[in-house]
Amino acid sequence: MQHEDLLPRDTPVALIDKDGATVSDEQYALPDAETLQRAYRGLVEGRRINDQAYALVRQGRLAVYPSSHGQEACQVAASMVLGDHDWLFPTYRDSVAVISRGVRPADAMVLLKGDWHSGYDPAEHRVAPQSTPLATQLLHAVGFAQAAKHRGEDTVVLALCGDGSTSEGDFHEALNFAAVFHVPVVFFVQNNEFAISVPLSRQTAAPSLAHKAIGYGMPGQRVDGNDVAALLAVLGEAVDRARSGGGPSLVEAHTYRMQAHTNADDDTRYRDRDEVKAWADRDPLSRMQVFLRAQGLLDDIAQQTIADGAETIAAALRDALNADSDLDPEDLFRFVTAERSPQLEEQWQLLRGEIERASLTDAGGHR
């Protein structure tokens, strides 16, 4: 590969514009109809999950929810481009991608509900626990891929992070390790313009985040993050390259966080409503709907079926989260190490005594 080929384009790759019209591209082909139909269903379901979770926060059933409203195209594409044996390394904002991989919505919300730190077995759907400490998961993804390569498996790993996270040292170390060890990792940055309140201009002075790739000797590419077709094409190519021994690459998606960082945030303090409105025009769902309708790939019945499916998911999520959690305080001591040390056992016995006494007196208070 020539050095120049490692640089991204000056403008992000786009295949379907904001009005649903196709954009022709020399390098990237439009995915096939069935793929786009599946993607659209994923978008609708993803949006529904985001909105349902948001509502559950308001109802006090979730402690917190970092929504990917507006970023569903990235979420769905990240999941769809991976094969069954590939692995996803998501962040706290990537619940929709996690669910798209097959994790039960209620399991994906265990962390955000406050029951435990993670709610699914990573091996079951090949999804690492959602990572909170920023950029740390990128290194896990690289190590995971190193192990796969070591054993001669052709697993591809896709690791997610946000624009803000590219400033962390771990971002740098992860891309560098991946390139030096030439492992099959796709680094996928969802540049949604903000890290909580901090705009992209405070994160980087680079022409684009994808311009960082050449500094590691890997290709970088930019893509319209609200265009699921372009995302599928660009990420798909990156996954194929990784699988065929072409090494890691960096993909930057240009998208926007439509809601506040989480419910605890107040985004009126740091951004204009006009900016948010302008991005509403570039919504990833509506452009696909227009496109599919125009292509005859979506009719009212199909639309309704998809909406119903999404509603079913939302209802299940509601039900699961409305049920009270049945938690066992002994869990605090169960998983710290494989075998419980006498030191921890002693502490558990202390707590057990307290719990027993509490149940003897009243429910809740100890004394």
Partner 1 sequence: MTMANDIEIETPHVVGTMTMAAAINRALADAIAEDPDVVVFGEDVGALGGVFRITDGLAERFGEDRCFDTPLAESGIMGTAVGMAMNGMRPVVEMQFDAFALPAFEQVVSHVAKMGNRTRGAVRMPIVIRIPFGGGIGGVEHHCDSSEAYYAHTPGLTVVSPSTPQDAYSLLRAAIASPDPVVFLEPKKLYWSKGEVDTSVTADLGTARIAREGTDVTVLAYSAMVPVALEAAEIAASEGRSVQVIDVRSLSPFDDATVTAAVRSTGRAVVVAEAPGYVSVASEIQARVFERCFEYLEAPVRRVTGFDTPFAPPKLEHWYLPDADRVLDAIDSLHWDDDAEGAAR
Ligand X SMILES: Cc1ncc(C[n+]2csc(CCOP(=O)(O)OP(=O)(O)O)c2C)c(N)n1
Task: Considering only the stretches 32-40, 193-201, 245-253, 302-310, report the one whose residues sit in contact with ligand X under the rule CB under 6 A.
Answer: 193-201
Closest separation between CB of residue 7 and partner 1, Å? Answer: 22
For partner 1 (CB under 8 A), the number of binding residues is 79
The site partner of 132 among ligand X, Mg ion, a second copy, none (C-beta below 5 to 8 Å per kind) is ligand X
Rg (CA), the chain: 22
**CA 17/CA 25 separation, integer angstroms:** 12
Comparison of 37 and 192: residue with beta carbon closer to Mg ion: 192
Site for a second copy, rule CB under 8 A: 3, 6, 10, 167-173, 176, 179-180, 182, 202-207, 211-218, 247
**Is residue 270 annotated as part of the catalytic site, yes or no?**
yes
Q: Which of 132, 305, 349, 359 binds ligand X (CB under 6 A)?
A: 132
Question: Which residues sit opposite 167 in a β-bridge?
Answer: none
Min dist. Cβ of residue 231 to Mg ion (A): 16
State the Cα–Cα distance between residues 47 and 69, nearest whole angstrom. Answer: 6
Whether 210 and 5 have beta carbons less than 8 Å apart is answered as no
* Contact stretch for ligand X (CB under 6 A) within 19-27, 72-80, 126-134, 271-279: 126-134
Q: The sheet that has 157-162: what strands, in order across it?
A: 87-89, 157-162, 185-191, 249-254, 220-224
Residue type, 351: L
Give me the least distance between CB of 361 and partner 1, in Å please.
Answer: 10
State in angstroms the smallest separation of the CB of 203 from Mg ion. Answer: 8
Window 231-270: residues binding ligand X (CB under 6 A):
257, 261
The verdict on 134 binding ligand X (CB under 6 A) reads yes
Contact assessment for residue 109 and residue 317, using Cβ atoms and an 8 Å cutoff:
yes
* Residue number with CB closer to partner 1 (79 or 203): 203
Active-site annotation holder among 61, 104, 254, 261: 261
Instruction: Please select the residue that binds partner 1; options are 1, 33, 278, 351, rule is CB under 8 A.
Output: 351
Q: C-beta of 53: minimal distance to partner 1 in Å?
A: 14
Residue 132 · residue 165 · CB < 8 Å: no
Query: CA 144, CA 150: separation in Å to the nearest integer?
Result: 10
Other C-beta atoms closer than 10 Å to the C-beta of 47 total 22
Is 85 in the active site?
Answer: no
- Examine the residue annotation and report whether 367 is marked as an active-site residue of this protein: no
Residue 279 and residue 174: Cα distance in Å, rounded?
31
User: Which span sits near partner 1 by CB under 8 A: 70-78, 280-288, 294-302, 328-336?
Assistant: 328-336
* Closer of 263 and 347 to ligand X (Cβ): 263
Interaction with partner 1 in 256-295: which residues (CB under 8 A)?
Answer: 264-266, 269-270
Q: Which two tokens stand for residue 204?
A: 């980087």
Cβ-contact 8, 220 below 8 angstroms:
yes
What are the φ and ψ backbone dihedral angles of 325, each rounded to 5 degrees?
Answer: -75, 145
Task: Please state the closest distance from residue 135 (CB atom) to a second copy, in A.
Answer: 9
Helices marked H in the chain? 33-58, 72-80, 95-100, 105-108, 110-113, 122-125, 136-150, 169-181, 228-243, 273-280, 284-294, 300-322, 331-334, 342-360
Using CB under 6 A as the criterion, which residues of the chain lie in contact with ligand X when the complex forms?
93, 132-134, 161-165, 192, 194-196, 257, 261
Which residue numbers are catalytic? 257, 261, 270
